[in-house]
Structure 1
Amino acid sequence: MTETAVRGRTSYGPGELARFLEVERRQFDYALAVGIVPGPDRHSRRQRRWTHRCAVRLRRTAPEIRACLPPAPELEHLGAVRSAELLADRLGHDVDPCVLPELALLGHVPRAGYYRGRPLYDRRAVDVVDGDLVTAAALTGRLVMGEEAARYLGIRAADLDHLVRAGRLVPATKVRSRYQRRRSAPAVALYRIGDLDELTTDDRIDWPAVRDTPRGRPSVLASLPTAD
């Protein structure tokens, strides 16, 4: 493939750029993950692509890029974003990268190490995991903020606060809000839908009483002991 042959193209997706650079897709994914190839320089609402100008610049250094890459069979582990792209290509629909931690939690796609503090996933498992499992993991692994978590449970925000205080509900992770400084620790708690579903089966909680408590009245959950 020559520069002339693709002169009419204005941008490239990952697979297209891999072919343009004459490397296999998993080699390209590796190069992108470790910084040998720069990230996309063209962004839209649903796609991340490389401009033709960027692709041509990379093409001129393709021999040096290929020299830095391990053989394709050795590249068995990928990050969440690349794994999600492979799943999307195979299944024919968008896959959110947040589905990978859930698939790992459920034992369908094992973690295979870390790179710069971020988990890597077993490429072989990503290639064969069933589409129905991916769909289910996308539901149970969805992360929501506290207000949405309370609505999902059908309770008030104050009730949710008591569940968290008592250790009955633990955030799956925390992220920074747009108002926080970069150096500040993440402060916005996110809750996993699967954990919320499991919580609703806790027979130690009188859910009808909690949900029937009107606004302005003390929460039934206020008597829960505070977690250590």
Structure 2
Amino acid sequence: MSENDVAAESAAVPKTRARKAPKPKAPPADLGPIQVLRHTGLAEWQWDAGTTAGLIPPADCGGRWSVALADQVAARREEIVAVVGTEAPIGGHRAAQRLAARTGLDVEKVDVEALADAGALRVAGWYNEFPLWDCRALDSVDVDQLGAVVAERQAWIAASVSKWDAPAYLGWRRDEFERVAKERGLRLGRQDRYATADLDALAGDEDLVEQVRQDRLLMSHQAATFLEIRPTDFKYLVASDLLAPRTHTSVEVSRYRSVSVPLYRVGDLEALREHPAIDWEAVHAVRRGEPSPLRELARRPVDRAAVVRRWVAELGDRHGIEVWAWFHPGAGRWEVDWERVDGAPTEQEVRKAIATHPYLKEHRHEIAVATDAGAAIRWARAMREPEAAVILDTETTGLAGYLVEIAVIDACTGETLLDTLVAPGCEVEPEARWVHGISDAELADAPPLAEVLPRLLEVTAGKEVLAYNAEFDHGTIARHAGRDGLDPAHLGDLGTWSCLMGRRSDWELVRRWLPLGGGHRARGDCETAYELLCAMTAPSRTPKAMARR
């Protein structure tokens, strides 16, 4: 190899810089909590225990420890460990296990706490609100003393009942037991237990037991079972004013709603068995489906629904108007609305009539007046007036595409005013073709929007334009006209459109959009929407008794 080759090879090898030796770090002037533990060789619990015992001085550098102070603690490490031990304090359950393993006794956590109460143990520390116990102290507990504590606990367990089992021990309900315990000053013993002798004393008080039984409260269906009658018969008893609930309770029937449920006293139910106006033999003999013998005693309708229906009929007859009422299951309330014509009452007058009604007034907070469903009915009736509105539907090349078909029918008569294909000026997307079935071949001879628009504007002029999804159909027409340089005139104003889908949700008392259910062709969907509009001129939920009128 020549001298030039050696020089070239050495030039090709990259030069590496020699790394500088790292500068030695200066020893820290002070130590943090973790550093001081490493420096002294103590565990965190040993450090805490040593600090509590006064063997370790507090931090001397603003929450940190100087190296000099840490060296002093490290030098005394053996002395500190001798005082605080080598095992960390343990909780009550582990302490009981440790004592049980050493003595063979059935030790529980409460026994450890009892030893502490007796002065045989002391708390070595705390974990949250739970005491911790020193292992060396546990190992030095006297076996005889521990045995006496365990035996005393076992004797108390045998002579007592837990607070959770006490009501069942007496055959009472929990609320009944808690009421009597408060009235009699019954106190809980150790481990939240009642002495069996105290409970037996309550059970032996015959007057008390009988009073508890008579004061027991039952729901309507429970009360009917107690009287051995049908729920229908029980409703007539309440409607006859021979029986009234003692109180009400709130029962959660869904995540968002609770209902008020009446409760009836057993003593009041038993008193009815001696009532001279009730032929109990006839009541018990009636079979399912037969009218109740108690109906003759009823002074008012048997339930809220019957009261509402009767009052609605009276309100309509009084004002010569049509009044609607239905139960809204989602809101858990009755809704009342009516047609707004001359002579019809105002909302304030209807609310006042409910508030002053002898039976409805107690349900006035559960009856809504002037509702979205009622507004939808009145709107549908207005849209079906002659020359008031038309129904329009479109089919498109895609969700954000252009027109391929458009139809318009009269909202009053259902007459078809326009039904035509429209040349979109682009291909139909496969997804859209799968929905409506209109192919590019069918659109080959279709007229462009420029030819269709004059007739479209003519049949919709001066009328409300109804579409099942008004925002979609309005947007499609505006987009197509804008692309072709056409003026959509009044159809470009969303204010002249109304959405059937939103009104339908109000009418059907739901909070979601419902599918139209048409055949996905413009005229067919218009006709389906027309049928829906006709149906919306009456309530969607008419009670059977009102529907027969």
TM-score normalized by structure 1? 0.47
Kindly indicate whether structure 1 or structure 2 has the higher relative contact order, using CA contacts under 8 Å at least 6 residues apart.
Answer: 1
TM score, norm. by length of structure 2: 0.22
